[in-house]
Each structure stands twice: as C-alpha cells, then as structure tokens.
Amino acid sequence: MITVKEANTKALLKDYVKFPFSLYQHHPYWVPPLISDELETFDKTKNPAFTSAEAYFYLAYRDSKVVGRIAAIINWDEVNQQHKKKVRFGWWDVIDDIEVTKALLEKVYELGRKNHLEYVEGPMGFSNLDKVGVLTEGYDELGSMITWYNFPYYKEHLEQLGYVKEKEYLESKFPFSNVKPEFFFKAQELIKKRYELKAVNFKNTKDIMPYVDEMFDLFNTSYANLSSFVAITDIQKEYFKKKYIGFINPEYIKFVLDKNDRIVAFSIVMPSFSEALKKANGKLFPFGFYHLLKAKKESKEVLFYLIGVDPEYQSKGVTAIIFNEYYNTFKEKGIQNCIRTPELEDNHAIQNLWKHFDPVTFRRRRTYRINL
C-alpha cells in the first residue's frame, strides 16, 4: 500500500532532500546537490520565491520506506499577471512504479483543483532560474548542478498517464578548439565603434555587485517575450545576488555597456562543478568545500549559464563582443569544453548565436502537460 505524507517538518524535509541520494546511489551520471542548499531552497523563511509562490512537498511511502517525492507549486505571478491557470510540479523523483507516480501527482491535482486552475505542467521549479524538465535523451552523460537527472522511466510514466509534451529543451556542447576568433574579432571592433559600446571584465566579485540589480532588470527585459518566462522580483534579485554571485568566477561574468554606462548585454558562465559535487556527495564539510573551490579554480569545462541582450541591440551583433572577451579568458585558463545549459527548442535566436562553433546536441529534456 502506498501512502503520501506532506513533508512539513525539518526532519521530513531532510528525508525529502535525501531521497534521491538513495535512489541514485553510486549512479555514474547523477550529480548530487548540496543538502544544505536544497534545504534552504525549500525553507519558506529563507527563499523569497515563496513571496509570490506557494509550494507543498510530499513523500510517498511503501512499508514505511520512502519510494518517491514531489513538489506541488503555484507561481501566483504567473497565474495572476500572465493569466496562466497552471499548477506546477517539480523536484520529482520516484522508483519505477507508476502507482507511486500516480499517488504523488494526485497531490498536485488536488492543489490545482482547489485553486480552480486548469492544467498541470512539470517538472519545473518556482522560477526560470530553477531546474526544469524531464531528461528524455542523454542518460549516459554526466549531469550538471543546474539540471535534474532522471531515469528513462520517468518519461514513460508521464506518457502512460496521458501527459503530452509542452516544451522541449536542448543542451549542446562544443570543444573550445571549435571557437575561431576570426568569426567575431573584426565584427566586435566595428560594433563597439559604431554603437559606442565597451566590454567590462572583472577580477574581483565586489566590483560586480554594483551592476547586479541592473543585470537582473536586463534579464527580465531580454527574456520577457518567451512564453515560459516569469520575471524575477526585486526580493529574488537580492537573494540570488547573495547566494550565487560569489560562487562564480568574476572573470566569467561579462558586461557590455553603452556610452552612458548602461548595461546592454551580459553573460554568466560557470565552471563545471559536476565532478566536485559527486565527490562532495551533498556535504560541504569536511571536504566538499575543498573540492568545489578546486573546481572553481581549475575546471577545464565551463557552462554558459545566462546570456541577455537589450531588445534594442538584439540584432546588432553585440554578442560578438561577449564572445571575444570569453575567448581571451578561456584561452588564458586553458578551457577545453563548453556546454550550453537548457535552451528552448523554439528559441532560434539564441541557437543562432552558437552556429559558428558547430555545437552538438547531447541532451534533451522536456516539460509535460495534462489538463485538470
């Protein structure tokens, strides 16, 4: 018999966070999150996502043993401002038993019906900066800290239950040796001169901080037209600033400014922490912090996390300036591999940015939908 219980205490939330560690124990491609980081994400007193969203976390049991988990989420900004009557589900992990999946999803349906919503979509988090999508291809590739990994049967469970594809995401990679400066060096010089632009690089995190709020504003502006986008709030900006900016190499954050020192483009790249997180196995101490710090300094693989361009400049080749700056940085650091994090399959503008580097799609993921 399957029973489902809300994880509404610290002890149960810890069980919720730790369930994937047993499900994927010794799995070669699953990358464990930091347990403390996950607990903070689900803490309503710490994560500002809860100012505009509500979420409930559930554990499924059989014979007193945890066999699955799920989060039922409503992003009220999405419902009230975009008029999308959607209930989300996320942080979904389950044994290969469709009855467990059915029992967990029933809790999502209950939340949706209670609030008169019309459909379910997932897996996805609170906002666009959370993880997204069920992995559908690329099971034999090492995951990353900003994506979920799952077994192939996750997709099968949802499709057997009548879910249909809502959005498709692509993840691609290319060796740094594919990056030829002749594709952007001359162009970026002309673009800087024509539009009176300049690139800004950093050596210290403290020098980045004065720009971060404006960067998030540009993030909201540049992604506003995507169908899946929900803007980051001011409270969330402050939270992400404190939590993540110091975690990223300052050399990997690039800005392009106009003649008035206004940001017109930005990009954030992260070193790959996948191997370090596997060694840490969810814990910062005693050695996890050392592995992460070592990866931050020495990783030869990078992830293109975010890139944003002011709509006024989106057709003016400004990304050539960003690529030129990264080329110089990556060459100096001996970077070998570049990975693009999940991008919507129908976002052709972003995909065209990379065409000269001959990227190869190595993972696909999607969100699924069902009407209530």
- DSSP secondary structure, 88-146, as one string: EEEEEEE-S-HHHHHHHHHHHHHHHHHTT--EEEESB-SSTTS-B-EEEE-TTS---TT
Closest CA to 343 of 179, 228, 253, 214: 228
Last residue of a domain, one of 146, 171, 196: 171
- Check whether residue 154 and residue 55 sit in a common domain: yes
- Check whether residue 139 and residue 97 sit in a common domain: yes
Domain membership flag for residue 215: yes
| Domain CATH code at residue 287 | 3.40.630.30
The tokens describing 214, both together, are 């404006």
What percent helix, strand, coil does the chain show, rounded to 5? 40, 30, 30
- Check whether residue 135 and residue 225 sit in a common domain: no
Domain containing 179: what range? 175-361
Domain membership flag for residue 83: yes
Q: What is the pLDDT of residue 228?
A: 66
- The owner of tokens 């969203």 is 53
Domain membership flag for residue 73: yes
- Check whether residue 88 and residue 127 sit in a common domain: yes
Name the burial class of residue 36, with classes exposed (0-12), middle (13-18) and buried (19+) by CB atoms within 10 angstroms of its CB: middle
Q: Is the four-CA dihedral 167, 173, 174, 180 of positive or negative sign?
A: positive
Query: What is the rounded CA–CA span in Å between residue 361 and residue 192?
Result: 32
For 1, 26, 88, 150, 326, the CA distances from 95, given in Å and listed in that order, are 14, 16, 21, 10, 42
- Check whether residue 165 and residue 218 sit in a common domain: no
Domain membership flag for residue 369: no
Domain membership flag for residue 60: yes
Cα–chain center distance at 227:
17
Count of domains in the chain?
2
- Check whether residue 266 and residue 351 sit in a common domain: yes
Last residue of a domain, one of 153, 171, 189: 171
- Check whether residue 18 and residue 112 sit in a common domain: yes
- Check whether residue 211 and residue 342 sit in a common domain: yes
Last residue of a domain, one of 171, 202, 218: 171
**Strand (E) or helix (H) holding 290:** helix 288-298
Q: Mean pLDDT per 10-residue run, the chain (372 residues)?
A: 97 98 97 96 94 96 97 96 95 98 98 98 92 97 96 98 97 96 92 96 93 92 78 84 84 96 96 96 93 95 93 92 96 96 87 89 98 97
Domain membership flag for residue 366: no
Query: What is the rounded CA–CA span in Å between residue 231 and residue 221?
Result: 8
- Check whether residue 105 and residue 162 sit in a common domain: yes
Q: What is the pLDDT of residue 315?
A: 87
Domain membership flag for residue 367: no
7 and 58 Cβ atoms separated by less than 8 Å: yes
- Check whether residue 272 and residue 197 sit in a common domain: yes
- Check whether residue 70 and residue 183 sit in a common domain: no
- The owner of tokens 């996390």 is 305
- Check whether residue 280 and residue 342 sit in a common domain: yes
Q: What is the pLDDT of residue 236?
A: 86
Domain membership flag for residue 16: yes
